Amino acid sequence: MEEINKFLTFINENLEDERISVYKEMKYGHRYYYISMLTQSDKNNNISYNSYNQLSIILDNRNKCVVVNTTNEERSITIEDEELLNKWSEIFEEYLNQNIDKDIKDMIHSVMSNMSDKDLYRDYQMKKIFKKDEPI
């Protein structure tokens, strides 16, 4: 359990790296945290397409376990350690909550700014600038 704890500490210290992603889902009233690291493989230097490896860690609060998967070896390891699960669930919950407003704003902007007809997006932006009860 010490190795997964050290690795999650490393991930937590490098959350701004674009190769690392963290997200949360709610299923059946339980929280699931998905931590993923996507890396480019150097095995296929002679092939014209890129190959990627993914290491994913799932914090499964329903089944009280931590699941580690890798595409490189197509392996999966399940760790039943409730203390480890609770510790890292709290850490990633705090991380996701501190960025939630920014993430929502980015999602809205990303979708609406790519619309072919920008009228709806302009209306949304104007409502943010001018309050309903403020005179123009």
15 plus 72 within the same structural domain: yes
68 and 14, same structural domain? Answer: yes
Q: What is the pLDDT of residue 117?
A: 79
Q: What is the mean pLDDT of residues 127-136?
A: 65
66 shares a domain with 20: yes
Q: Do 103 and 51 fall into the same domain?
A: no
Q: Specify whether 76 is located in the same domain as 49.
A: yes
Residues 118 and 71 in one domain: no
Instruction: Select from 69, 68, 64, 100 the least CA-distant residue to 84.
Output: 64
Same domain, yes or no: 88 and 23: yes
Three-class secondary structure of residue 40 per DSSP: strand
Per-residue model confidence as pLDDT tens digits over 2-17: 999 999 999 999 999 9
Domain count, the chain: 2
pLDDT at residue 45 in the model: 56
Q: Are residues 52 and 110 in the same domain?
A: no
Question: How is residue 86 written in tokens?
Answer: 């609770």
Residues 64 and 121 in one domain: no
Residue 13 sits in which domain range? 2-96
pLDDT of 81 above 60: yes
Pair 115, 48 in one domain: no
pLDDT of residue 53: 87
Indicate whether 132 pLDDT > 70. no
What SS3 class is residue 39?
A: strand
**Predicted confidence (pLDDT) per residue in 24-71, tens digit:** 999 999 999 999 999 877 655 555 556 788 999 999 999 999 999 998
Residues 78 and 65: beta-carbon distance below 8 Å: yes
Same domain? 86 vs 132: no
pLDDT tens by residue, 97-124: 998 888 888 888 888 888 787 788 788 8
Look up residue 39 and give its two tokens: 């890396």
Q: How far apart are CA 63 and CA 60, in angstroms?
A: 6
pLDDT of residue 96: 93
Q: 51 and 90 in one domain?
A: yes
